[in-house]
Amino acid sequence: MDNLVDNGGEEAQAALRELPEALIMVFDRELRFMLAAGPALTRMGNPAACGEGQPVADAFPSEVWKPIEPLFRSALVGEIRSREVWTAGQRHCLMVDVGPLRVSGAAGASDGETVVAGGLAVILDVTARRRSDQLAQRPQGDFAEVFERAPIGTGLLDLDGRWLLVNRALCEITGYTLDELIGKRFDGIVHPDDAYNDAEQRKLLLAGELSAFQIEKRYFDAAGETVSAILSLSLVRDPDGAPLHFIAQLQDISARKQLEEHLRHLADHDPLTGLRNRRLFEHDLKLQVARSQRYGEQAALMVIDLDDFKRVNDEHGHAAGDTTLRTVGRALTRRLRQTDLVARLGGDEFAVLLPHVDGEAAGVVAESLQRVIPTCGVDVGDDLLHPSASVGFAVIDHRAESAEQVLVEADRAMYAAKRAKTGQPA
């Protein structure tokens, strides 16, 4: 998980800039910060208490932490929970959404299983929205102005799901004009996979068993792009209790979803080369061994170690070493098939998983890679480096005992190839 925090890079910061009212927190299973960022950090949290490894509780005043602590602990058992909380004196209203951060290929996890490595909290300042709700109780003239200026996409729907009224924010989220939305069915812009994921809640709403509900949905905007949003839906009734219309609020969380996806990518990939990291690769290897054991599917595992890489760092500096690793990683990816999985195991060691190949084919690929890698010219000022590598492989078939055993065999073959180059006995 170290790379998740230490190597956020420009992509994560760009995603955060898209959430001007948000505070993003990533925390571990001890409720200590792995990451805390966002333009709203200075307003909604204590920046001095949000450093990596510091307790999350120290970032909040007690009147805020006490009601939201159960949300953070629930995330550690895989639950997603939300709550609104006011700061002292009701100066700010915060919407706190907390859920688990799941990773695959963790130690001790079975094939295909994800484990909760911590949690992700998104805290939004919804003070303006709550003030708008309060103002909505005023006479109609004031309500119309507040409705139009509300920062959250808001609209009224008839009982058939057609838009009766929408505000400016809803038009901005969907990309449609007011005239294009009025009379249009709400489900006409919903992603088909999410069209009916709230059917049960709507039934309960109409039956009076729910006062309101929230659910995450994906929508298509006017340009055909997917928008992720939180839908809040409530039902307005007449004095006799008969349903009149729905009130829908849409909160665009597309930037947050992109950030979550980026964080997941960081957890499973090497930040220097962009290749799979050891954890994800070992997970893939376990799945391949299981397929080979059950169905007899043949595959091969290849381990690649650069020769004399320490000398590159010592003589030309670590920047040249990093460039060499990136260059070799790109060369491997270009040379291999799209179905082949390439990883950096650590240091100057790479690995490749070749599905649907036998030992003879694996040997051909190994020889090919040994020829390709030296063609990677690395410019180090007045010199051009041509790295070389030692390659070893192991065949995976129904006789494979385990992923660990296959990795040991491939590693031994690689070291045998390296010793053969130096004339040492195998």
Strands in 153-157's sheet, in edge-to-edge order, are: 163-166, 153-157, 243-252, 226-237, 212-220
Coil vs helix vs strand at 302 = strand
Do 227 and 252 contact (CB within 8 A), yes or no? Answer: yes
List of residues 6+ apart from 401 with CB closer than 8 A: none
**Residue 261 vs residues 4, 52, 180, 258: alpha-carbon distances, Å:** 11, 21, 32, 5
* CA separation for the pair 159, 191 (Å, rounded): 20
* CA separation for the pair 222, 224 (Å, rounded): 5
103 closest CA partner among 235, 291, 280, 247: 280
Provide the CA 99 distance to its chain's centre, in angstroms. Answer: 12
Q: How many Cβ atoms from other residues are within 10 Å of residue 159's Cβ? A: 11
Q: How many Cβ atoms from other residues are within 10 Å of residue 109's Cβ? A: 15
| 348 catalytic per annotation | yes
Among 97, 348, 358, 411, the active-site one is 348
15 closest CA partner among 245, 325, 228: 228
* CA separation for the pair 121, 38 (Å, rounded): 12
* Residues carrying an active site annotation: 348
